[in-house]
A and B are shown apart, each in its own frame.
Chain A
Amino acid sequence: VIHEFFRFEGFDAASYDAFVSLFRPSRAIAADRSSRNVGLLVVVVDDDDNVLGAVHSNRGRVTNIGSAHDPEALAHVHGAGRVIVFREGAFEDLAERIALRVRREQGYLDQIITVLESLREIERAGALRVFPGSLSHMPIPSADTLRRAFDLIASDGHVVVLAIHGHKRLESAIAFRRRDGAIDGIFGPGRILPAAGPLEGHLERDHDRIVAAVNREIGPVQTAFSMREGVARKLIAQRTPGALSAAIAARELYARPAPPWLSLGVGVDTVASAVVGISHAIGASPLASAFGAALSSAAGLSSLPGREAIESWVELFSPRPRR
């Protein structure tokens, strides 16, 4: 996924904060999350299923768990959207499997897939139980499938651009560039805006200037989106299928050049925002969220073989309210 000579340029403290703040949940959303059954409860048991310890991703150590026999019941009692019960030593086993399989010449994407395969084996061996769902029956997307998913947004040597406009100025702009099959650069406003020249505050005309600047300075643009800050926040926060397509139809969002899959408009928002949601639920970097959103958007909208696998994994780790 990440090129050996990866570059991350063009963000100062203010522009990075502006970018990150898009992914920061509002206080209302944060309060709502804390009141619902979200987050991950991890319980460790011994060979006889006696509970040895437990941690909730939002609440820390959990004591006095009587039995881990029924992970669904644990989710209800302890207010968790997901529950993982693993046998003592399973993580050691996982690390051993990873150590033996990850190869020096592998890229990071292949290494991550190796981790997922090892995790699934641990579950099949009975050392790991997951609620809801199961890992063992999930197909794991191949590295090629994931690469093809990326290709839909930015094929090798190409760039995808996202520009977020405030009331009178550009709030944030970011460009991802792919090279040798991996992301070799993420570029912020400091690299994009000087080449774009002064902006007018007109969404469509500014969009064209930004795209032209990226074409000149960073690489050929394959996909570019521009939208107002409020629209971006809404799309990131919403998990409504079709919201992205609706925003395009309402001319709240410009997508030009636009990938062919965009016109299909199936489920992109759900998948993308689920990935964003996961990352926030577990405190991950918003940049990882952006990667995840891009990846799952492409996967969710394509007819690629293996797309179900990607969506399954996204679904597995998505925070969700108690039913």
Chain B
Amino acid sequence: MGGKRGTGETAERASQQLSLQTGRPRVLAAEVHGFRHPKSTWPALLERVRELGVTHVTTLVPWSEVEPRPSEIELGERRPSMAIGEFLDHVATAGLRAIVRIGPRIRADLALAGIPDHVVHDRASMARSARGNPVPSPIPPRMFPWPSYASTAYRAHVRRFVSSIAGELVPRLAPTGIVDAIDIEDPSAVLVRAGAYARDYHPDAVASFRSFVEHRYGSISELSAAWGINETSFSELTPPTRFSAETPRDLPRHLDWAAFQEWLVDDFRGFLRNALVDAGFSSVSLSSALDASAIGVPTDASNASSRLDRVGVELATRATELVAIRRRLSSVAIASMRPFARILLGGSPWGRPRREHDAIASALLAVAFGARELELSMGVSHERWWGAPIDMDGSTTSSFESVRALVAALTELGLERLTTRHDVVIVIPPEYVRFVRVTHLFGPLGAGLLDFAGRSFAEATLDSKFGFERAIQHAFLDRLGALEAALDEARVDFSFLDPESVRSLDVVPKLAFAPTFEMLDESTTAALDELARRGAQVVIGPDRPRLGHSMDPVNAGLQTATVLGDLAHSDLVRSIVEIASSTSIAPAPHDAASGARAFALHAHDTKATKDTRGAIAGYVLANAGDTVGGIHLDDASTWTDPLSGETFPPGERIPVIARSARLVVVRSPERRAEKRSEARR
């Protein structure tokens, strides 16, 4: 299945001028921050990167270093290491290609997230709280006010930055140059991951909000009816500044405010794309790594995929965090033509500590859940990083060989040609994620504080039903967790699906689960009905929705859906097993004792071959538990772990140590012959 976007859905936009790549190139990239290393060291560092076996170097253009003071542009004249174009030329000399990350909020452990001081402290550029004050970011080494992504002043600063770097980058863009993609930031981290009322009440944002609701409702009377208020003009409309709903009728204006913030993320992406086109970046792929939403699933995978050619996620995860990796990656894998994972090799001193094998395991799990390009961040260490395979002086570190083995294995396997089956999906209604955001209790500091405490932002929500039979903001998370646990126990592989992706799916899942409650947005209902119409079995529950977005009764829709009500875990598992069996979904290989699981990697491009089954080229075996597991895959094939070199004869249980993941590839005579044939071609 693939809801593959990024090829023509935005014809009306100026961004259409960018040429979009079709098909998948091989991208195994290692990140190197040229500006952080003396120019004289670049050739040796890049040579060592090449030895890792990667195809690309990911590098950064940090705004705060390019524009350290107003009207001062630094591209190597005074600081030789800032000569971005020259660095890319060295990348080319090393026989590598490049992906260039430009931010503008680049982070990269730079002060002020890499935004110049004079921009951050331009009052016209600052995001605003409900009371009109700046909104502080606590990120060390210095707190600073968040910028407003709606602010025309901030956008003018961004345009200036993009124009200033065009001279260095545009001549080096593909197809004539080596820069295959320009990577932009994902504003979701600033706009969507915090509580809904944390920001942005900047006057330009409020003006955009008015336009948003006008577009959504069309007339002031429609809006007044939905919001239950008497407004006379869109121009006088004010956004809600705190959650005040007591009944379902009070909710639409709050949910609209949350939806507007998601729209603003997409709008800023569009703005950036246009700014790049205007600056001459007219022949390159655009990419971005999406931030997680309040529940850990990016909810705008579809929108992002229509704006961008490559869409991915950044994973600083541990080997045990299979659930988190699937939540973050799988909806992107379905939506984008070129889904990628940016795997953190090591980390910054402020980040969560992880062990060496966590990065390799995260990379393998990312591949299992659909990543078809990998960016390894960092390839070369820098002054605020630990754990990269190559040190700043060019020497290799303890992780060099394991990273090289990973790259070699994925190269041989043909990562870009693999497919992941998405036969079973959980559809995430975005309106329920908005419920979580608008009912968040910890205010603007909530996301950061809860992150710091190792808790989810989504757990700190209002304990109220607003007249519904249950508190949807809690019940949604509970149901989501229950579905995940039951599907896992039933050994059913599954992914997450953004309902916006349904229209563009070219292979429809066999089975779609959706947590549903009394209220469900009409657009989500339509997406589920579309899935059913195209042959998917749709399973909803625990409630059959009876209200739409405006809380008016709806009777149409979801007529063929199966409803699974409030079931105990064992009953939910039993029901899922029965439904999966009736839809010919085979259980995945697993080890009941340890909980270890196998995730199949299919060798053929289903679009190209029309082979919806796909030959299995390998498995990622994952064990998040505390005991050693062993998985029996089949009795016919010999399996090899290309990272360890171990071989497992037909019928043998393949061991998977606790809290780890491993890759095994088939080594049947047929497969070897196929590989030889491919090599000859």
Pair B349/A4 contact, Cβ less than 8 Å? no
Q: Which of A49-57, A224-232, A239-247 contacts B (4 or more CB under 8 A)?
A: A49-57
A14 contacts the other chain (CB 8 A):
yes
In the complex, A55→B463 CA distance in Å? 11
Contact of B391 among A7, A108, A190 (CB under 8 A): A190
Please, how many angstroms separate the alpha-carbon atoms of A60 and B456 in the complex?
8
Question: Shortest distance in angstroms between B443's beta carbon and chain A's nearest beta carbon?
Answer: 3
- Complex interface: stretch among A96-104, A154-162, A249-257: A96-104
Q: Is A150 an interface residue (CB 8 A)?
A: no
Q: For residues 1 through 41 of chain A, which have their beta carbon under 8 Å from a beta carbon of chain B?
A: 1-4, 6-9, 11-17, 20, 40
**Pairwise interchain contact A12-B121, C-beta atoms closer than 8 A:** no
- Chain B 1-14 interface mask (CB, 8 Å, partner A; 1/0): 00000000000000
Whether a CB of chain B sits under 8 angstroms from the CB of A89 is yes
* Residue contact B129 to A99, C-beta cutoff 8 Å: yes
B442 touches A91 (CB 8 A): yes
One of A131-139, A213-221, A259-267, A281-289 contacting the partner: A281-289
- Say whether, besides A12-B387, A16-B346, A53-B461, A2 and B141 are in contact (CB < 8 Å): yes
Q: Is the CB of A4 within 8 A of B397?
A: no
Q: A95-B444, A102-B136 given as contacts; is B387 within 8 A of A16 (CB)?
A: yes
Closest chain-B Cβ to A82's Cβ sits at a distance in Å of 12
Partner of A92, one of B392, B443, B461: B443
Choose, from B26-34, B54-62, B352-360, the stretch at the interface.
B352-360
Q: Identify A44's interface contact among B353, B356, B441, B444, CB under 8 A.
A: B441
A188 at the interface (CB under 8 A from B): yes
Q: For chain B residues 425-484, which have a beta carbon within 8 Å of chain A?
A: 441-446, 450, 452-456, 459-464, 474
Closest to B477 in A: A61
Q: How far is the CA of A44 from the CA of B450 in the complex (A)?
A: 14
Are B142 and A111 in contact, CB atoms less than 8 angstroms apart? yes
A88 at the B interface (CB under 8 A): yes
Docked pose: A40 CA to B348 CA in angstroms: 27
A17 touches B443 (CB 8 A): no
Asked if B111 CB lies within 8 Å of chain A CBs, one says: yes
A306 interface residue (CB < 8 Å to B) = no
Query: Is B452 within 8 A of A94, CB to CB?
Result: no
Residue contact A99 to B460, C-beta cutoff 8 Å? no
* A-B residue pair count with CB separations less than 8 angstroms: 158
Query: Residues of A contacting B443 with CB < 8 Å?
Result: 89-92, 94-95
B533 within 8 A of A: no
- Give the docked Cα–Cα distance between A17 and B397 (Å): 13
Whether the Cβ atoms of A92 and B197 lie closer than 8 Å is yes
Q: Write the nearest CB–CB distance from A169 to chain B, whole angstroms.
A: 14
Report the separation of the CA atoms of residues A92 and B145 in the bound assembly, to the nearest whole angstrom: 15
A13 touching B387, Cβ below 8 Å: yes
Given the complex of chains A and B, what is the CA–CA distance between A57 and B349 in angstroms?
Answer: 23
Q: With an 8 A cutoff between CB atoms, is A186 at the interface?
A: yes
Closest Cβ of chain A to B378, distance in Å, is: 11
Whether, in the assembled complex, B332 has its beta carbon less than 8 Å from a beta carbon of chain A, the answer is no
- Asked whether B383 lies within 8 Å of A42 as measured between CB atoms, the reply is no
List A contacts of B399 (CB < 8 A): 12-14
Interface centre among B143, B242, B385, B387 (most CB of A within 10 A): B143
A107 within 8 A of B: yes
- Which residues on the B side are within 8 Å of A61 (C-beta)? 459-461, 474
Task: Give the CA-CA distance A40 to B452 in the complex, in Å.
Answer: 12
Q: How large is the interface on A (under 10, 10 to 19, 20 to 34, 35 or more residues)?
A: 35 or more
B145 touches A13 (CB 8 A): no
Contact A99 B453, beta carbon cutoff 8 Å: no
B379 to chain A, nearest CB (A): 13
Indicate if B384 sits at the interface (CB-CB under 8 A): yes
Given contacts A52-B463, A52-B464, contact A11 B140 (CB under 8 A): no
* Chain B positions 338-388 with a Cβ under 8 Å from a chain A Cβ: 345-346, 348-353, 355-356, 359, 381, 383-388
Q: Which of A9, A20, A54 has the most CB of B within 10 A?
A: A9
Q: Produce 1/0 per residue, B316-349, CB < 8 A to A.
A: 0000000000000000000000000000011011
Interface of A is mostly: mixed
Residue pair B463, A283 in contact (C-beta under 8 Å)? no
B131 sits at the interface (CB 8 A): yes
Q: Are A285 and B349 in contact (CB under 8 A)?
A: yes
Closest beta carbon of chain A to B323's beta carbon, Å: 15
Give bound CA distance, A115 to B444, whole Å: 14
B235 on the A face (CB < 8 A): no
Interchain nearest-CB distance for A10 vs B (Å): 8
CB neighbours of B387 from chain A (8 A): 11-13, 16
* Nearest chain B residue, comparing its CB with the CB of A27: B626
The reply to whether the CB of B135 lies closer than 8 angstroms to some CB of chain A is yes
Question: What is the minimal beta-carbon distance from B388 to any residue of chain A, in angstroms?
Answer: 8
Q: How far is the CA of A291 from the CA of B142 in the complex (A)?
A: 17
Contact with A along B133-151 (1 / 0, CB 8 A): 1111010111101000000
Docked Cα-Cα span, A240 to B121, in Å, equals 47
Complex: A101 Cα to B180 Cα, angstroms: 45
Q: How far is the CA of A13 from the CA of B445 in the complex (A)?
A: 31
A287 to B140, CA, bound (A): 13
CB A215 to nearest CB in B, in angstroms, measures 21
CB neighbours (8 Å) of A51 from chain B are 463
**Bound CA–CA A63/B143 (angstroms):** 34
Q: Which of A4, A13, A55 has the most CB of B within 10 A?
A: A13
- Which residue on chain B has the smallest CB distance to residue A43? B441
CB nearest neighbor in A for B450: A55
Given A8-B349, A13-B387, A111-B142; A53-B463 close (CB under 8 Å): yes
Cβ contact within 8 Å between B136 and A8: no
Q: Does B130 contact A (CB under 8 A)?
A: yes
Q: Mark A283-303, 1 if CB is under 8 A from B, else 0.
A: 111110000000000000000
B398 adjacent to chain A (CB < 8 Å) = yes
Provide the bound-state CA to CA distance between A288 and B145, in Å.
23
Residues on the A chain within 8 Å of B381, using CB: 9, 12
Q: Determine the residue in chain B with the shortest Cβ distance to A291.
A: B349
Q: A7-B383, A108-B141 are in contact. Are A283 and B349 (CB under 8 A)?
A: no
Known: A12-B399, A57-B454. A4 touches B384 (CB 8 A): no
Query: Which B residues are CB-close (under 8 A) to A60?
Result: 455-456, 459
With known contacts A17-B355, A88-B441, A55–B141 Cβ distance under 8 A: no
Interface mask (B247-289 → A, CB under 8 Å = 1, otherwise 0)? 0000000000000000000000000000000000000000000
- B622 → chain A closest CB, angstroms: 20
Which of A40, A92, A111, A186 is the most central at the interface, judged by chain B CB atoms within 10 Å of its CB? Answer: A92
Digit string of B104-124 for contact with A (CB within 8 Å is 1, else 0)? 000000010000010001000
A282–B445 Cα distance when bound, in Å, is 16
For the complex, what is the distance from the CA of A249 to the CA of B599, rounded to whole Å?
56
| Complex interface: chain A residues within 8 A of B133 (CB) | 96, 99-100
Q: Can you name 13 extra interface pairs (CB under 8 A) apart from A61-B459, A90-B443, A95-B129?
A: A6-B141, A8-B348, A13-B399, A53-B461, A61-B474, A63-B463, A92-B130, A95-B135, A108-B142, A283-B452, A284-B452, A285-B351, A286-B353
Give 25 pairs: A residue, B residue, CB < 8 Å, sorted on A.
A6-B383, A8-B383, A14-B398, A16-B387, A52-B463, A57-B453, A60-B459, A61-B461, A61-B474, A90-B443, A94-B445, A95-B129, A96-B131, A98-B143, A99-B129, A99-B134, A99-B135, A99-B145, A102-B143, A108-B141, A111-B142, A190-B391, A190-B397, A282-B453, A282-B454
Report which B residues bind A (CB closer than 8 A): 111, 117, 121, 129-131, 133-136, 138, 140-143, 145, 197-198, 242, 345-346, 348-353, 355-356, 359, 381, 383-388, 391-392, 397-399, 441-446, 450, 452-456, 459-464, 474
- Sorted nearest first, the 3 A-B pairs with minimum C-beta distance are A283-B454, A91-B443, A12-B397
User: A residues near B, CB below 8 A?
Assistant: 1-4, 6-9, 11-17, 20, 40, 42, 44, 51-55, 57, 60-61, 63, 88-92, 94-96, 98-100, 102, 104, 106-108, 111, 115, 186, 188, 190, 282-287
